[in-house]
Every structure is written in C-alpha cells, then in structure tokens.
C-alpha cells in the first residue's frame, strides 16, 4: 500500500499461459472473465496438507489439531500428543515431540512405516513413544479444544479411543501448482522445480516457497525465496529491456 501497489483480492487464478510475444496471460476462475497480462510471473501459491477427512478434523484445526509440528509442537511441551502418518514427515514429527512431550503416540494405518530406517530406529528407541500400527483414525473429539482421537484396529476390527492434547497430521502435502503452464517442470509430487535463483525452466516465470521443490517448508525459507525470486525477476526484466 505504501508503494501504491494495486492488490486484487478475491481472485482465484485458474491458468497461466505463455503467449507468442513472451508475455504471460493469467486467467481467473473467479471472478469469471478476469485476466491479467505480465512480462514476468512469480508463483508463490504454497501447498496444502492432505487431510484425514474425518469428523472433528476441521472443527479442531488450530484448536489442538495441527499439520506442522515445527510450528506448533512447542505449545504442547510436557503434554500428551499423537502424530498420524507413516512417512518421513510423521517420523520426524514424532521425534521432535518425543523430546518435549511426556507421551507420544504414533498412529500408522499401515503395518510398517514407509520412512527412512534410521528415523524408524531412532523413534523405536524413545521410551515415551508408543507406536500403534494398522490403525485408521476415524474421529477427533473434544470440547473447546481437541481432547483425543478414535481409531479402528484393522487386524482385530475393533474401535479404540486415545486421549491426546495435541494431534499432528502428517500424511503428505499437495503443492498448489496446477495453474502453471504445462511446459514448467515439476517433480513427481507436483512441486515446481527451481534453481538457486528461483527460476523455472520457462523464461520469465519464477516460483518461491512451499510450491517449489525446496526441501524444507517453513515461513522464513519461503520469505527468503520470495526475495530471491523478486530480484531474479527484476534482473530478467532489465536484460529484456537492454
């Protein structure tokens, strides 16, 4: 606002297309018919966590249910927490919590973890960690805040209730990269590939933050990448003008 930049809120971008004149056409899904033309584009649309889609999950989000242990784990120091998932992110979450919580449950719907063996071994060595395999989380319950979860045991076809102050869901992330041109390279998970300058393989299109293949998804990293992308875009425009 101080720099008199026009901000368009409430616009849902549906598609970005590179045109014959090397400019980009940004088309909106909502409001219908809205479009923009630009010489460069910085995609900083982030990623969203996969959800369990069970009763209580949405109701207790930010009220005991979290998708980021690095962000919210310290809030539950000395308390009982549960991590849901079976990959590296879930293992790392549980290891972080084990160092600050009195008790940690790890709920894995599969019989075995899918993460790195060294993480699995480290987790199994923690005395305050209880691993519950073949467990499908079916509900999150509570009052003003989350108080626990329910899960079904696939091996016995029984339903169980577990008390927990904090519930961390780590079953994967989905990058919001659907709108970029088809020519833009992505990894197998859909994250946009960028180099150290936040350049994509498509000249004039840059990406920053959690939508990229940067290994760590944290706000300070995203902010730093945003600065790099902006400086790279300015450099690109300067070279175009020369």
pTM over 0.85: no
- Average pLDDT score over residue span 133-137: 96
- Average pLDDT score over residue span 104-131: 96
The alpha carbon of 192 is separated from its chain's Cα centroid by a whole number of angstroms, namely 14
How far is it, in rounded angstroms, from Cα 231 to Cα 197? 9
Residue 174 confidence (pLDDT) above 80: yes
| pLDDT value, residue 226 | 97
Q: Please, what sign has the CA dihedral across residues 45, 201, 230, 17?
A: negative
- Average pLDDT score over residue span 86-108: 97
How far is it, in rounded angstroms, from Cα 41 to Cα 192? 13
Q: Whole-number mean pLDDT of the chain? A: 95
The CA–CA distances, whole Å, from 239 to 38, 65, 79, 208, 234 equal 16, 48, 56, 21, 9
How far is it, in rounded angstroms, from Cα 50 to Cα 107? 16
For 195-220, what is each residue's pLDDT tens digit?
999 999 999 999 999 999 998 888 99
| pLDDT-above-90 percentage for the chain | 91
């Amino acid at each position: 606002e101080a720099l008199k930049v026009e901000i368009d809120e409430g616009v849902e971008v549906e598609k970005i297309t590179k045109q014959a004149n090397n400019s980009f056409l940004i088309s909106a899904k909502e409001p219908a018919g809205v479009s923009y033309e630009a010489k460069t584009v910085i995609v900083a649309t982030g990623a969203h966590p996969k959800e369990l889609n069970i009763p209580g999950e949405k109701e207790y989000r930010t009220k005991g249910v979290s998708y980021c242990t690095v962000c919210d784990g310290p809030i539950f120091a000395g308390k009982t927490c549960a991590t849901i998932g079976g990959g590296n992110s879930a293992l790392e979450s549980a290891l972080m919590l084990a160092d600050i919580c009195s008790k940690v449950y790890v709920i894995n719907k599969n019989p075995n973890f899918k993460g790195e063996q060294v993480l699995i071994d480290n987790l199994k060595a923690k005395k305050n960690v209880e691993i519950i395999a073949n467990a499908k989380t079916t509900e999150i319950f509570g009052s003003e805040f989350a108080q626990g979860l329910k899960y079904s045991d696939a091996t016995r076809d029984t339903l169980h209730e577990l008390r927990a102050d904090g519930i961390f869901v780590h079953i994967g992330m989905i990058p919001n990269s659907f709108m970029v041109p088809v020519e833009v390279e992505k990894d197998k998970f859909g994250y946009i590939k960028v180099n150290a300058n936040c350049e994509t393989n498509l000249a004039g299109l840059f990406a920053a933050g959690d939508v990229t293949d940067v290994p760590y998804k944290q706000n300070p990293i995203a902010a730093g990448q945003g600065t790099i992308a902006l400086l790279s875009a300015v450099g690109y425009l300067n070279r175009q003008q020369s």
